[in-house]
Structure 1
């Protein structure tokens, strides 16, 4: 995969170039899956008594590890009508933190395989990851040559978090809906979003970030209407879809409250995981989680001043804003993908408590791999791919070979 002559080949050059784009994407994507499988097998072999998987772990245990067990539990048991509580009376971790679509789709796919949910989950993740790669290629192809677009797919398929394409997590499916939705916005094919937004909302949290994106996109369309005419039907679609995304973003919370009789069931469930790091319950307020995380890591854990943490986060936000606004390769990706990236990062700042899952939660920024693919130096591209594979192994080793319940959570 690091051979530039393979991926840089243009559509008209040789047998490789004559292959349909989905076939070329498949070769890159499933080639990356072979590498990830090797990493997972080695990680399982290295798993010891300190890991939650134990010294006898197999690759099936890793596929079904961590949050995958919650999706499995949802598929087999559904959602509780009575929220479980801890010995102190606080709401305990439970299924309401996990949306239903991936869990039940994996169960359906597993039916021909004796109902083994782990098989269905693996197949759904693999297939959704491949489909997402095809959509990513199409998005990138609108902005760059076919060779560069395929390199972007290679970085995506073999990147640091690529193990998510073959474990029982909902990320692959969520990325497929997200990439399709972004592509629809880029192509101004808004009608499909009325289907994609609810699918996003019931696969993984984050559709409220898409609502913010649609709001910013609508403002940009208004101010750029002289360059690209803005007609009434498009205005209606953008406003209606923004409202739909907001409603969809709160739908799961509303459903959890209706089933359990507790209007705060979903938020209380999400906060249950936060007690693994900090004591007591905190209100779910904008930016509160990120602020508490900075205080925890810089103050309680590392013995530093939390002020340093806030300064570093502020500098990071400013640096990312500068990249999205001014970096030429990022700008080549188009306003839509830059607005999405900004919206999603704001969403994380608003709702997330920073811990080791932050790496996984950055995966929706994957369209930015296109910026890494634009420099046409083979050495650069091979270097990015190599770094991605090294970081992928580092992530798998830490989260699965060494993984425990507090410090190495994927």
Structure 2
């Protein structure tokens, strides 16, 4: 039977040739091309944001890419790298603990400083660490999803991930990119049951960015799951030992930074008071004490009252949101991603519900559940995938425009 050939009338070349050439490329090369193109798109959007940045913006008129890359939290990581962590907690005008570097973990700050020593500045080192970590995260994400949803869908998940609404994080001085790389490697180790690597990954993750307690919860739930299905998937004693030991290690690491802050400052509540300093900007003195879930309840009233909808509406929305997210994790497309991705996503979302006060940074804090992009890649329709990509890029511009172009009010903080 004759093969039908589609010809490009402008060039006379076989249009299937590009597809075939793409298919012959090693997976690593394809991921690299996707990532480079995605970073060029983000660079263009950042340049566009710089072009419309005005005098009221935090960045002023016509900021450089370097100015944008080193804004907001990047300044705190830089301060930690060059000045260390304060032995005396700074106090605000009201006498309470002010924002300070203890809220920012040391690994990213010091790794960026090491690269910066070679490249000339801490900022250059930070951007390079973010860029390299982002590529590593893409490779690890593809490996994590490939055996669950297939190579093609896994690559599309990488496309969505690298072009997503928060993709600017891959080229600014934030620790998220490095944390995602470490996290995806850790999830891959659990998926493939290579426990030894986790004894290294867990401590490094824990001192890169808050969230290792969510990984402890994940390991606990994973252990219960393995115990439940042990008849069809045997659970050897050595694996039980690893799961329990790693869960305990994650808990210890999760509280270690608080203990270090307490030891250095002499204040047992140094870390918690530092974290609450940011919440105080929204809630005032009502944020002086911490209780699990309280942040979301307070936020439901805070935001909905400002929108003129009333606190009760906010509480109803919060309940609907929790129920909706729970049901979403049970969708068939999500189930196809594997138990590791589902349990991690559930664990991390529970962690956010317990400890976080939602504000504009909530979108950034959701990036650790990025393996869920795989669910959007499961449908094989090209139009569906292009539609998801288009919405991701639109979301990226909305984020960049608000956080880096306007950047002049309390809800425009990345």
TM tier, shorter chain?
over 0.9
Find the aligned partners of 1:215 and 1:222 in 2 and give their Cα distance. 11
Q: TM-score, normalised by structure 2?
A: 0.94
Equivalent position of 2:405 in the other structure: 401
Conserved 8 A contact 1:45-1:58: no
**Contact conserved, 2:219 with 2:247, CA < 8 A, in 1?**
yes
Partner residue, 2:299: 293
Of residues 152, 155, 161, the one that matches 2:157 is 152
Residue 104 (structure 2) aligns with: 98
Quick one: distance in 2 between partners of 1:149 and 1:397? 29
* TM superposition shift of 1:405: 5.0
Rounded Cα–Cα distance in structure 2 between residues aligned with 1:90 and 1:133: 42
Structure 1: 5+ residue runs without aligned partners? 1-12
Could you list the per-position Cα deviations for residues 61-116 of structure 1 after superposition, in whole angstroms to 9, with x for gaps in the alignment? Answer: 000001011111111111000000012110000000000000110110011222x1
2:47 aligns with: 41
Higher Rg of the two aligned structures:
2
In structure 2, the partner of 1:323 is 328
Bigger mean CA offset, 260-269 vs 41-50: 41-50
Report the equivalent of 1:371. 375
Q: Which moved more, 1:53-62 or 1:123-132?
A: 53-62
Alignment correspondent of 1:10: none
2:309 counterpart of 1:308: no
In 2, distance between residues paired with 1:309 and 1:184? Answer: 40
**In 2, Cα distance between equivalents of 1:79 and 1:363:** 27
Q: After superposition, where does 1:55-74 map in structure 2 within 5 Å?
A: 55-74=61-80
Runs of 5+ unmatched residues, structure 2: 1-18
Runs (4+) of structure 1 moved beyond 6 Å? none
Kindly state the Cα deviation for residue 302 of structure 1 after the two structures are TM-superposed: 2.2
Give the Cα separation in 2 of the matches to 1:146 and 1:298.
43
The residue aligned with 1:385 is: 389
1:270 aligns with 2:280: no
Q: How does 1:160-199 map to 2 (within 5 A)?
A: 160-199=165-204
Q: Distance in 1 between matches of 2:196 and 2:408?
A: 44
* Aligned positions of 1:55-134 closer than 5 A: 55-114=61-120, 116-134=121-139
> How large is the RMSD of aligned CA atoms in angstroms?
1.3
* Cα distance in structure 2, aligned partners of 1:72 and 1:404: 22
Hey, what's the Cα distance between the residues in 2 that align with 1:205 and 1:69? 18
The structure 2 residue matched to 1:362, chosen from 345, 366, 373, is 366
Task: Report SS of the residue matched to 1:303.
Answer: coil
Give 3-state SS (helix, strand or coil) of 1:279's partner. helix
Query: For the Cα contact (< 8 Å) 2:280–2:288, is it kept in 1?
Result: no
**Residues 133 and 177 in structure 2, CA contact (< 8 A), matched pair in contact too:** yes
Q: Counterpart in 2 of 1:4? A: none
CA deviations 1:16-67 (Å, max 9, x no partner) are 2222211110000110000000000111111111211011311110000010
- Structure 1 residue corresponding to 2:205, chosen from 200, 207, 221: 200
